[in-house]
Structure 1
Amino acid sequence: MRGKLRLALVAVGSLVTAGILVFVLGGFYNLTAVQQHPAWVFRAIAIVRDAIVKLEAREVTVPADFTPIAESRNVALYQKHCVQCHGAPGVAPEEFALGMMPVPSNLVAAARERPPEEIYWFIDYGLKMSGMPAWNMRMSEADMWRITALVEALPALSPVEYKDLLAAAPQQLDAMTTVEEAVQSPPAGDPERGKTAMQVHGCLQCHVVEGIVGRPHLQVGPPLDDAGTRKYIAGVLPNTRDNMVRWIMDPQEVDPLSAMPDLGVSKDLARDMAAYLYSIADQEGADYPPPIAD
């Protein structure tokens, strides 16, 4: 019995030692953004990523009238949301993007290598630990397809053409204005969609929210687990669904002294977020929204 236990301990020790060697010699211990992963790690990640994206993108339906095209509106959307990291013909990425690891890819190469459904998938869902955000629920499907059309047209677009199209683009372009057309919520809101909306709108940057994985001991804004049970929202508004939606959409209008920023949340998505916060309260058996004392 002791012999078997000794062999088991030796085996475990050997595995631990091998793991440490791989961790150290493989460069995983270097957490800085000035040194890339070893080449074999970088390639392995790319292989797994591309296999998963190819599989997931099969669920994306390309519009029947989709055509790779560079036009002013597409360029304006790309300039607003993408050029900061990826650059454009004759336009360098912003300095912060050049210091990212990995450096955001040049999308001319992506257009040559990937079909439109994969480009759209990256725009819609983003990619963990790469710096690529998810535009899901923050941009309309129509505008995400417009950016996809531009990306697919980038290989044939010259710097002069890009500059001319940008000059003709709308000066005040906000893709958020069409989000409400793409997302329709029931009157009481959709808690599941609200949960996702809180994730993609970065609520976890400041708050701990029950049911959503984030930093467990974040101390910026208050935890939102009991938001649905409080008598007042932000200490100034009676806790009702309408007021919760109002607060989520424009906190500065409700309380100019609040540090909570306006995240550009549409009314439908704010209704969904409120529904999720109240659903958490309901799971705890609370009376929500709570009665307001006269």
Structure 2
Amino acid sequence: MRRSRRILGIGLAAILLAGAAVFSLGEFYNLTAIRQHPLWVFRGIALGRDALIGMEAEYVAVPDGFELRADPASAALYQKHCAQCHGAPGVAAEEFALGMMPVPSNLAAAAKRRPAQEVYWFIRYGLKMSGMPAWDMRMSEADMWRLTGFVGAMPGLSPAAYAELLEQAGELPDAIRPVAVEAGPLKTAIGSVERGRAAMQVHACRSCHLIPGIVGAPDVFVGPPLDEAGGRAYIAGVLRNTPDNMVRWIMDPQAVDPLSAMPSLGVSEALARDMAAYLYSLSSLDRSKAEPEGDEDR
């Protein structure tokens, strides 16, 4: 028994020492963006990331007619929403991206080693703790595949050809447009609670509000907590709390109250209904089921 305990103690001590060595030598304690992890840590993280993404990307279905193509529309879309971090042929990334850690990858190089399914996966879902955002619910499916095709064509695109495509495109298009959401079983009379939670996450609502079910900083008080937003008599003190008014407020708060600090995020009506469904699901008093009294506006 004593021998077994001694062996167990030695084993635990060895594990602790190994963990301390990895923590120290890997510089996990250094949180600055100036000091990068050692090469072996960087390679290890990349190996695990690529293995997991490769498995998930296998389930991505490439749409019919997809092709690697660089045209004016896709070049303009890339310039407005991707070039700031990743650069483009003959175009450097913005200054803020040059100081990021890890540095955003050069997509012309990434396109040579990643299949279209993986490129699309990165565009749609993003990557935690890398600065890469998720464009799901904020960019149309067609535009995400258009960007995928453009990235795949970038290795053969010269700086002069890229500049010519942008000149032909003219004004840069905005990918933030109403996004169609596939019909599915509704969990409330308004929209899908689960999809609403995800929509609030990808639209960064948690950066200003405390929202149950969405992880973030514990002391965010820019806007009011939303745990009882669905049960309040009025929305933002301006509109009676009804489902239609909640959707109206989420889609364009500045149109309802120009003095509000809440910005308009380009949320489509379909996603606004899902977000409203999630907010009503949090409240102990669900006013989505109550009959409105009098005028809708205060």
TM-score by length of 1: 0.92
Q: Which amino acid aligns with 1:142?
A: A
Other-structure match for 1:249: 251
Q: Partners of 1:11 and 1:154 in 2: how far apart?
A: 52
Q: Partners of 1:293 and 1:71 in 2: how far apart?
A: 54
- State whether residues 178 and 269 of structure 2, in contact with CA within 8 Å, keep that contact through their aligned partners in structure 1: no
Q: Partners of 1:62 and 1:152 in 2: how far apart?
A: 13
Other-structure match for 1:192: 194
Other-structure match for 1:35: 35
Query: Residues 287 and 271 of structure 1: is their aligned pair in 2 closer, same or farther, counting only changes over 3 Å?
Result: closer
Answer yes or no: is 1:218 the counterpart of 2:220. Answer: yes
| 1:152-171 matches, cutoff 5 A | 152-171=152-171
Q: How many angstroms does 1:130 deviate by?
A: 0.6
Q: How many angstroms does 1:14 deviate by?
A: 4.8
Q: How many angstroms does 1:79 deviate by?
A: 0.8
Q: Partners of 1:205 and 1:184 in 2: how far apart?
A: 29
Q: Partners of 2:130 and 2:159 in 1: how far apart?
A: 27
Q: Partners of 1:10 and 1:204 in 2: how far apart?
A: 45
Q: Partners of 2:41 and 2:266 in 1: how far apart?
A: 38
| 1:104-183 matches, cutoff 5 A | 104-180=104-180, 182-183=181-182
Q: How many angstroms does 1:151 deviate by?
A: 0.3
Q: Partners of 1:170 and 1:178 in 2: how far apart?
A: 22
Which stretch of the first structure deviates more once superposed, 100-109 or 166-175? 166-175
Q: Which amino acid aligns with 1:288?
A: R
Where 1:176 maps in the other structure, the secondary structure is coil
Deviations 1:128-152 (A, max 9, x none): 0011000000000100000001000
Q: Partners of 1:238 and 1:178 in 2: how far apart?
A: 25
Q: Which amino acid aligns with 1:262?
A: S
Query: Residues 172 and 78 of structure 1: is their aligned pair in 2 closer, same or farther, counting only changes over 3 Å?
Result: closer
Other-structure match for 2:287: 288
Q: Which amino acid aligns with 1:110?
A: A
Count of paired positions: 290
Other-structure match for 1:261: 263
Where 1:265 maps in the other structure, the secondary structure is coil
Q: Which amino acid aligns with 2:41?
A: V
Q: Partners of 2:41 and 2:52 in 1: how far apart?
A: 17
Counterpart selection for 1:237 from 214, 236, 239: 239
Query: Residues 14 and 71 of structure 1: is their aligned pair in 2 closer, same or farther, counting only changes over 3 Å?
Result: same
Q: How many angstroms does 1:81 deviate by?
A: 0.6
Where 2:287 maps in the other structure, the secondary structure is coil
Q: Partners of 2:151 and 2:238 in 1: how far apart?
A: 46
Q: Which amino acid aligns with 1:133?
A: P
Counterpart selection for 2:278 from 272, 276, 279: 276
Q: How many angstroms does 1:229 deviate by?
A: 0.7
Q: Which amino acid aligns with 2:108?
A: V
Which stretch of the first structure deviates more once superposed, 88-97 or 169-178? 169-178
Task: Say what the alpha-carbon RMSD is for the aligned residues.
Answer: 2.1
Q: How many angstroms does 1:42 deviate by?
A: 0.4
- State whether residues 126 and 133 of structure 1, in contact with CA within 8 Å, keep that contact through their aligned partners in structure 2: yes
Q: How many angstroms does 1:115 deviate by?
A: 0.7
Q: How many angstroms does 1:262 deviate by?
A: 1.0
Q: Partners of 2:118 and 2:10 in 1: how far apart?
A: 47
Q: Partners of 1:70 and 1:293 in 2: how far apart?
A: 55
Other-structure match for 2:102: 102
Q: Partners of 1:184 and 1:81 in 2: how far apart?
A: 28
Q: How many angstroms does 1:214 deviate by?
A: 1.9
TM-score by length of 2: 0.90
Query: Residues 76 and 115 of structure 1: is their aligned pair in 2 closer, same or farther, counting only changes over 3 Å?
Result: same
Q: Partners of 1:170 and 1:271 in 2: how far apart?
A: 35
Query: Residues 204 and 178 of structure 1: is their aligned pair in 2 closer, same or farther, counting only changes over 3 Å?
Result: closer
